[in-house]
């Protein structure tokens, strides 16, 4: 099996896939749509991070592609609907870099509250200004978290340990941890919190979740952080709020438009604005996180290839398939009545015995893992592939 890994995915992922029998090709940066289509010819597994977009056209042009590993949290850079239609499994790393993002957020909150960006700039310019003016502790201040998922909830715990009062807003029903308090609306959060940190996903409805109206509703001299998705924030509106002084400081790690690779120019309205921390999408980029992500996602791809396991798959039904004894038939199909009956009938016709069978469905698709014993698997797979409901079938 051949795998293509883009965007400097950690070397441990390469080693793990090679140890499981994969031929691995690596490239340092992201690829354009046309470049990706050309690179995927003959490739079975693709590994990307956040800058490579896997569009419907890419998927339609890559019939041999079996799975995509997103070596990051988000999957909005992948057309999941098209991936499912073409039988391409998608795996990500929803937890591996959570701590790294949270630690960066905490460090930036403290840095802005103490105006360390100004102090650092002055010292490099030879200016000694030992003063407490504009410098504050975070203890006792109110942190508002927008999005209380894996990252937001862990940020809540650590911020509270520092003595902060934590409020959060989420469209989903989330359990408050510690003494955090849920609020009923984003407006309520903006009116109460002194620091706002955004941790939502990249779905289309979150575009410009924060614009001029939202910044105007924030408390005067508030702090603002975005370490999730670039399009969530109207950067021009944030720049205006910062220049006017309504927002006292900001820390931005993600941007609506980002360079594809190191060395390409970066331009933003936030450059050279005082008390703004700009980082190049490094929230999850610690050595520890990249090792964990590399091993986790590579393991998921290898298990999908060797065992047919879709455990923690983003877009396909979840089947945690363990070791197989003899042979295994994995069958991704449209979720309509009668498919499993036809599968069982074909197994019987080929004198193949079922040892165990697991089926799971998710929306319009179903996925079955059947451990079997007998002969004639190639003919069976060919006949299963001809079924109108079949999306993908393999014999392992």
Annotated active-site positions, please? 229, 258, 281
In terms of Cβ atoms closer than 10 Å to its own Cβ (0-12, 13-18, 19+), residue 383 is: middle
CA distance 355 to 369: 11
Beta strand residue intervals within 55-121, DSSP E: 67-70, 89-91
CA distance 325 to 225: 51
Q: Do residues 226 and 210 make contact, with C-beta atoms less than 8 angstroms apart?
A: yes
DSSP state of 175: P
**Which whole-number Å values give the CA distances from 297 to 26, 87, 188, 203, 332, in the listed order?**
15, 18, 38, 22, 21
Phi, psi angle pair for 352, to nearest 5°:
-105, 125
Helix (H) or strand (E) holding 329: strand 327-334
The three-class DSSP label of residue 321 is coil
The three-class DSSP label of residue 45 is strand
Phi, psi angle pair for 350, to nearest 5°:
-95, 10
CA distance 366 to 171: 29
């Amino acid at each position: 099996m051949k795998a293509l890994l883009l965007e400097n995915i950690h070397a441990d992922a390469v080693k793990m896939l090679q140890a499981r029998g994969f031929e691995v090709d690596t490239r340092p940066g992201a690829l354009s749509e046309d470049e990706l289509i050309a690179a995927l010819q003959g490739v079975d597994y693709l590994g990307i991070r956040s800058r490579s977009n896997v569009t419907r056209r890419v998927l339609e042009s890559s019939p041999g592609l079996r799975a995509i590993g997103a070596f990051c949290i988000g999957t909005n850079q992948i057309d999941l609907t098209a991936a499912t239609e073409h039988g391409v499994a998608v795996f990500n790393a929803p937890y591996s870099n959570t701590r790294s993002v949270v630690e960066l957020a905490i460090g930036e909150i403290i840095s802005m509250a103490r105006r360390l960006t100004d102090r650092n700039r002055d010292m490099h310019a030879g200016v000694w200004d030992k003063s407490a003016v504009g410098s504050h502790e975070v203890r006792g201040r109110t942190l508002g978290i927008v999005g209380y998922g894996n990252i937001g909830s862990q940020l809540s715990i650590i911020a509270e340990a520092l003595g902060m009062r934590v409020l959060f807003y989420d469209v989903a029903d989330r359990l408050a941890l510690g003494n955090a308090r849920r609020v009923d609306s984003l407006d309520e959060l903006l009116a109460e919190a002194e620091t706002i940190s955004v941790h939502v996903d990249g779905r289309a409805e979150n575009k410009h979740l924060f614009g001029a109206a939202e910044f105007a509703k924030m408390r005067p001299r508030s702090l603002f952080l975005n370490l999730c998705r670039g399009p969530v924030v109207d950067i021009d509106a944030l720049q205006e709020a910062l220049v006017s002084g309504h927002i006292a400081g900001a820390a931005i790690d993600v941007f609506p438009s980002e360079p594809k690779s190191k060395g390409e120019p970066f331009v933003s309205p936030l450059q050279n604005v005082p008390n703004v921390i700009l980082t190049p999408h490094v929230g999850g980029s610690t050595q520890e996180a990249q090792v964990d992500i590399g091993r986790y996602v590579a393991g998921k791809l290898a298990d999908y290839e060797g065992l047919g396991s879709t455990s923690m798959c983003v877009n396909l039904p979840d089947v945690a398939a363990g070791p197989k004894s003899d042979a295994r038939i994995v069958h991704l199909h449209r979720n309509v009545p009668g498919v499993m009956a036809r599968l069982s009938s074909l197994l019987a016709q080929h004198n193949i015995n079922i040892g165990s069978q697991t089926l799971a469905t998710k929306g319009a698709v179903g996925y079955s893992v059947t451990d079997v014993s007998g002969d004639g698997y190639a003919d069976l797979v060919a006949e299963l592939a001809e079924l109108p409901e079949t999306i993908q079938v393999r014999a392992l």
